[in-house]
């Protein structure tokens, strides 16, 4: 009986269960990593934005285009911008690389700088005064230059973009986005825990039934009639 019990302790799994087990674990790990990346990304983006872009990640910042001032070329800027086809549209996510010195900024660079009244602005450099340390910028779609920008106000040079994804970034970096991600984590991990507990209960029930089938039938003794 003891040998039979040892055999029952590890019931053989079906082929489908053996094949789906590793796949489910892999999918679970992938979802966990994706969610963790989104959470870390949202936290960093929020901290960077709230600190006026003082929390770089490997020398880079991210921002979101909030207007159409770089989406097209104003007719008065056509000659100046000939051969420069980089356009940035509202809700584009841009990558901004920090520059170590004033000399690393050049005419035609698209920079992100901070304005005391308007916040972060992404415009193109149209003029530089090296002696006085002054920069003039203008949106490609505008026909007037911005005010003078100093190097201390420059966040960095725009090096790339992901179209339209800025809306997602802004949402993730918002309190509602962080709350939504937290709720998603609780649901996913809570659901996974419940499923595992249900599986264990099913396995215990199968083992109990298998053991019961091995027990010898109970013969009722023949009691004399009184």
| pLDDT tens digits along 124-151 | 999 999 999 999 999 999 999 998 999 9
Q: Are residues 122 and 205 in the same domain?
A: no
Q: Are residues 184 and 206 in the same domain?
A: yes
pTM as predicted: 0.68
Q: What CATH number did the domain enclosing 57 receive?
A: 2.10.109.10
pLDDT tens digit sequence for 12-42: 555 555 556 677 778 878 877 887 787 787 7
Q: Are residues 146 and 198 in the same domain?
A: no
Q: Identify the domain containing residue 77 by its residue range.
A: 53-168
Q: Are residues 111 and 188 in the same domain?
A: no
**Dihedral (CA of 170, 175, 176, 178) sign:** positive
Whether 98 maps to a domain, the answer reads: yes
Whether 224 maps to a domain, the answer reads: no
Task: Confirm if 192 and 68 have CB atoms less than 8 A apart.
Answer: no
Whether 74 maps to a domain, the answer reads: yes
């Amino acid at each position: 009986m003891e040998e039979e019990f040892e055999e029952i302790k590890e019931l053989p799994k079906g082929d489908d269960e053996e094949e789906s087990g590793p796949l489910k674990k892999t999918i679970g790990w992938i979802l966990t990593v994706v969610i963790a990346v989104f959470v870390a990304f949202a936290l960093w983006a929020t901290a960077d934005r709230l600190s006026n872009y003082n929390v770089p990640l490997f020398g880079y910042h991210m921002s979101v285009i909030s207007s159409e001032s770089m989406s097209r070329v104003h007719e008065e800027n056509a000659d100046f911008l000939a051969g420069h086809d980089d356009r940035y549209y509202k809700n584009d996510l841009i990558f901004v690389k920090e520059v170590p010195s004033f000399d690393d900024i050049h005419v035609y660079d698209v920079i992100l700088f901070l304005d005391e009244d308007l916040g972060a602005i992404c415009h193109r450099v149209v003029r530089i005064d090296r002696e006085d340390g002054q920069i003039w910028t203008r949106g490609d779609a505008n026909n007037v230059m911005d005010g003078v920008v100093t190097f201390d106000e420059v966040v960095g040079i725009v090096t790339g973009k992901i179209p339209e994804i800025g809306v997602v970034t802004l949402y993730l970096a918002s309190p509602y986005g962080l709350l939504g991600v937290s709720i998603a984590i609780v649901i996913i991990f809570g659901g996974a825990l419940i499923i595992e507990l249900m599986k264990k209960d099913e396995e215990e029930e199968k083992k109990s039934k298998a053991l019961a089938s091995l027990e010898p039938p109970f013969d009722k003794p023949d009691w004399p009639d009184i």
